[in-house]
Structure formats: structure tokens, C-alpha cells
């Protein structure tokens, strides 16, 4: 299956450390050779990079790794193809507009049947079950709420109910963001960690890379990272349970 990486922070933050670990799993130390992508939210805009080549061998991935692209919210994905051809249009994360915002989506897993998911506002460009589900989720949101609800918790519970239904169709681990909140749903496997003062050192599991976050941050920084599997081997990650929905805002997990 594919692997996911997400970040939410209260200040623009560099994700190069975590992305370096994920890159190695894309054809290096892992089987996810069928493309990768990453999206950085910058203000109201969103900078995205996609490549159908393995991330471990991708010059585009190395460009992203070398440059300090700071963001409040990041979503990244490395693909092991199950449904759909290996091509650029099938490379996550996918994006659509809703309520005047860029929504970004990445999925890990495989659904047995998406024919029951009726699409009326958005259509997929590629032929993956993941993009079909994304179009369905946003279509359902747009139908239920033509205008954004003033109470943001309404969106959370609406998404959680629909994700619970999708979980019955197969494996559905998901990252979704509107540039303000990062919604994370666990069907089988997802872990997360929040880093804040006092910051310590971290060591990647998949590369010989260490960082002292105390030298890279300020005492007020709060950064949360979500991944299919923990990316470091000397930190304590929280393991989500099947059916859990985690919502991050400015690096903080909302209750």
C-alpha cells in the first residue's frame, strides 16, 4: 500500500527532515515505487509537486528536499499502485476547490467498490479509487453545505461519518486539508507526534540523518507530524486506532 505524511504547525515550518525519511521508502528501503507528490500551503495558495517516478530516484524530490519550503500545512504521499495506471494524473495528492479554498487529499488503502459513490459536482481526472472518493467527499460536503458552516466542528463530524462509511468499503487511511485544518482518518494504520518545547534530538529510521530541533525552532513553536508509520526511532509516536479521526489546527490536536 501507499504511505502518507502530513504536517500541521503554528508557524511556517520546514518539513525536509520528515520528507527525507519518506523519500527513502519510495523505492529505496520500501516498495512504493509508483510515484509521489507533496503539497505545501502558503497563505491562500498551495504549491504542489508530483512525479510518477520513485521518490528515492526523483530529481524533483531532491529539489524539494534541498530547498526550505516552509508551510503551516503539508500533505505528502508515496504510491504503491493498486488501482489505476502509473502516470502523473494518478499521483496523489489530489486537489479541488470548495468554498473558495484549495482542498488537498491523499489516501492510503484500496476500496472494493466505489460505484455506489455518486458524483455530482466533481469528477476525477485519473482512474484511481482514491480520486473518485475525494470527488465524492467534496461533492457530499458541497451538497450538504453550499456555504461553509460557521461552526467548524460540523465539518469534522460530517467528514468522520462519511469516512466511517468508506472504511466499510475497504482500507481507507486519509489526509485532507483546506489549508486551515488537517483532517486525518485511520482505517488500519496511522501514527502522529507533536513536537514542542523543550525540543530534543530526532533520528530517522530510514536514513542516517539526525536533527536537534532545539537549534531549528523557537520555544513557541508547535509542530505535529502524521505518518503511516513512525519516521523516527528515538521518539514516542501516538498510534491511532481504526475509526479514529484526528484534527490538527496550528499544530495542536483538537478535542
CA dihedral 47, 69, 103, 124 (to 10 degrees): 50
The cell for 174 is 486519509
Strand (E) or helix (H) holding 7: strand 3-13
The cell for 172 is 481507507
Q: Rounded to whole angstroms, how far apart are CA atoms 245 and 17?
A: 25
Q: Do the Cβ atoms of 125 and 105 come closer than 8 Å?
A: no
The residues with which 173 forms a beta bridge, in sequence order, are 108
To the query of whether residue 2 is one of the catalytic residues in this protein, the response is: yes
Q: Of the residues 2, 46, 135, 184, which is catalytic?
A: 2
DSSP SS3 for 140? helix
Q: Rounded to whole angstroms, how far apart are CA atoms 187 and 168?
A: 9
Strand (E) or helix (H) holding 94: strand 94-98
Catalytic positions are 2
Amino acid at each position: 500500500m501507499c504511505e502518507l505524511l502530513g504536517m500541521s504547525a503554528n508557524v511556517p515550518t520546514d518539513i525536509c527532515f520528515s520528507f527525507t525519511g519518506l523519500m527513502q521508502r519510495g523505492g529505496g528501503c520500501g516498495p512504493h515505487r509508483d510515484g509521489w507528490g507533496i503539497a505545501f500551503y502558503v497563505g491562500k495558495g498551495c504549491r504542489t509537486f508530483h512525479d510518477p517516478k520513485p521518490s528515492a530516484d526523483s530529481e524533483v524530490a531532491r529539489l524539494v528536499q534541498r530547498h526550505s519550503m516552509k508551510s503551516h500545512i503539508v500533505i505528502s504521499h508515496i504510491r504503491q499502485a493498486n488501482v489505476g495506471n502509473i502516470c502523473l494524473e494518478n499521483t496523489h495528492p489530489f486537489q479541488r476547490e470548495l468554498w473558495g479554498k484549495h482542498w488537498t487529499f491523499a489516501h492510503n488503502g484500496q476500496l472494493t467498490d466505489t460505484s455506489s459513490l455518486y458524483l455530482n459536482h466533481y469528477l476525477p481526472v485519473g482512474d484511481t479509487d482514491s480520486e473518485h472518493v475525494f470527488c465524492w467527499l467534496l461533492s457530499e460536503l458541497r451538497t450538504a453545505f453550499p456555504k461553509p458552516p460557521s461552526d467548524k466542528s460540523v465539518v469534522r463530524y460530517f467528514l468522520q461519518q462519511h469516512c466511517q462509511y468508506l472504511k466499510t468499503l475497504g482500507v481507507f487511511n486519509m489526509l485532507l486539508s483546506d489549508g486551515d485544518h488537517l483532517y486525518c482518518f485511520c482505517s488500519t494504520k496511522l501514527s502522529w507526534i507533536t513536537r514542542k518545547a523543550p525540543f530534543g534530538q530526532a533520528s530517522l529510521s530510514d536514513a542516517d540523518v539526525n536533527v536537534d530541533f532545539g537549534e531549528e525552532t523557537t520555544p513557541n513553536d508547535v509542530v505535529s507530524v502524521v505518518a503511516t508509520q513512525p519516521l523516527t526511532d528515538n521518539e514516542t509516536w501516538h498510534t491511532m486506532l481504526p475509526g479514529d479521526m484526528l484534527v490538527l489546527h496550528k499544530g495542536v490536536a483538537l478535542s
